[in-house]
Amino acid sequence: MKLNLLVAGILSAVVSLTGCSNEPADTISAQGQFSLKEAFKDKFAIGAAVNELHIADGIESALVAQHYNTLTPENMMKWEEIHPQPDQFSFSRPDALVAFSERQGIQLVGHTLVWHSQTPDWVFYHQDGTRKNRAELLTLMKSHIEAVAGRYKGRVYAWDVVNEAFNEDGTLRQSLWYEIIGDDYLDMAFEYAHEAAPNARLYYNDYNLFKPAKRKGVIELVKRLKSKGIQIDGVGMQAHYALDYPSFDDVEASIEAFSAQGVDVMITELDISVLPFPDDENMGADVGLSIALQDEYNPYTEVLPKEKLDELASRYEALFAIFNRHSDKVGRVTFWGVHDAHSWRNNWPMPGRKDYPLLFGHDKQLKTFATRLPYAG
Ligand code: XIL
């Protein structure tokens, strides 16, 4: 019996080495052995944004465990979800994700403590509609950070402390955080996060950070925090891209520039839309942008044509060639979603489209080109 098993094992090893199986190398069964986290293990951590579905459902959670060694909650740790009312926290789903990550040996990155979006109005306004003042908002920010980052102290590896604080020109966004507290709200958020979770890595996260002006604003932030002795460990470049956007030279220049400040660089929300973007002025990832569905912007409702799939493949190849070249600087690459069916790009900035931005398709199968990305070199 043992001998039979041994012979069978040797035979199957020979078949897979010589490619003498009945199936072409790129079929799903060949991909079944393939693991993104294994493929990139000498380069950087590889991750995905997940929601409760990915840890509850059998197929989804198996995919997650097979391919990723870092996860980010897509929505469940955002203020409106985790702290929907002044005296109400909603910890059951995040607790389950933290426990799942620990069981699987996956590093969880918390997203996000301070952001202008997906944050309830009561954070900024009194019940009578008047705005809170600086002291009130700072007190609330501190208690929120203590409650959330403090709860997962030692269990959540890192936090996106502040998300999307900058305008495209590198000035600070006129969010309610900024208007009510002033420009040191970022400094305070990082201080509170450090107090609440002293061992967590603390990151600033934003989109379009390849843009030189925006890059400059973030570099100034990093310098200021460091000069004040406030902990900041990394910059997250979201990377919501498209087939013709952005210039990879700019991406590379930003990786180099952030790293030169002595912080980790992470690609935190990678996806590449194959669809025409309906508003050239506002490419990026401003979640506030919403444009009514028009058929001309939704051309691939059945399948993605081969030439577009090839374009997607070569975009991903070029990007990963850059990330590999800078794997001494890039600590992590996280996709914003696991598979196309669940990607936010189907609904942003135009709800109801069919996009194909990730490595796993609408059928949850790994796209063939993903097994041929540059994993080394
Ligand atoms: C998106 C989620 O994917 C959507 O499900 C949600 O409706 C809106 O937010 N930048 C970020 C992410 O930092 O949190 C956003 O996630 C995408 C843009």
Helices of type H across the chain: 2-18, 28-31, 36-39, 52-56, 58-67, 79-82, 92-104, 134-151, 176-181, 185-196, 212-227, 248-259, 306-325
Q: Residue 287: inside a domain, yes or no?
A: no
Q: Residue 317: inside a domain, yes or no?
A: yes
Cβ neighbours for 171, distance < 8 A, ≥ 6 positions apart: 217
Mean pLDDT of 287-305: 96
Mean pLDDT of 288-295: 95
Q: Residue 282: inside a domain, yes or no?
A: no
Q: Give the domain extent around 38.
A: 3-15+23-276+294-372
- pLDDT-based confidence at 377, cuts 50/70/90? low
Q: Say which of 23, 269, 281, 311 is annotated catalytic.
A: 269
Ligand 1 center–CA 74 separation, angstroms: 7
CA of 337, closest atom in ligand 1: 3
Ligand 1 center–CA 287 separation, angstroms: 7
DSSP string for 109-166? EEEEEE-SSS--GGGTB-TTSPBP-HHHHHHHHHHHHHHHHHHTTTTS-EEEEEE--B
164 is known as an active-site residue: yes
Provide the residue count of the chain. Answer: 377
Q: What is the dihedral of CA 255, 265, 191, 335, to 10 degrees?
A: 120
Ligand 1 center–CA 118 separation, angstroms: 9
Ligand 1 center–CA 59 separation, angstroms: 23
Res 5: pLDDT: 39
Q: Residue 284: inside a domain, yes or no?
A: no
Q: Say which of 52, 81, 164, 191 is annotated catalytic.
A: 164
The residue whose C-alpha atom lies closest to atom 15 belonging to ligand 1 is 287
Q: Is 91 left (phi over 0), alpha (psi -120 to 50) or beta?
A: alpha
CB 214 within 8 A of CB 166: yes
pLDDT above 90: percentage of residues in the chain:
88
CA of 51, closest atom in ligand 1: 5
DSSP three-state, residue 213: helix
CA of 268, closest atom in ligand 1: 13
- pLDDT-based confidence at 12, cuts 50/70/90? very low
pLDDT value at 34 more than 70: yes
pTM listed for this prediction: 0.92
In angstroms, the CA 16 to CA 6 distance is 15
- pLDDT-based confidence at 328, cuts 50/70/90? very high
Ligand 1 center–CA 3 separation, angstroms: 54
Q: pLDDT digits over 331-359, tens only?
A: 999 999 999 999 999 999 999 999 999 99
Mean pLDDT of 272-277: 97
Mean predicted lDDT score pLDDT of the chain: 92
Q: Please state the domain count of the chain.
A: 1
Q: pLDDT digits over 194-251, tens only?
A: 999 999 999 999 999 999 999 999 999 999 999 999 999 999 999 999 999 999 999 9
136 is known as an active-site residue: no
Q: Residue 289: inside a domain, yes or no?
A: no
The residue whose C-alpha atom lies closest to atom 5 belonging to ligand 1 is 344
The set of protein residues with a Cβ atom below 6 angstroms from ligand 1 is 74-75, 163, 238, 269, 285, 287, 344
Q: pLDDT digits over 82-105, tens only?
A: 999 999 999 999 999 999 999 999
Handedness of CA 368, 369, 375, 377 (dihedral sign): positive
Q: Residue 281: inside a domain, yes or no?
A: no
Q: Residue 288: inside a domain, yes or no?
A: no
Q: Residue 159: inside a domain, yes or no?
A: yes
Q: Is 111 left (phi over 0), alpha (psi -120 to 50) or beta?
A: beta
Residue type, 373: L
Mean pLDDT of 159-169: 98
User: Residue 213 is part of a domain; what is its CATH number?
Assistant: 3.20.20.80
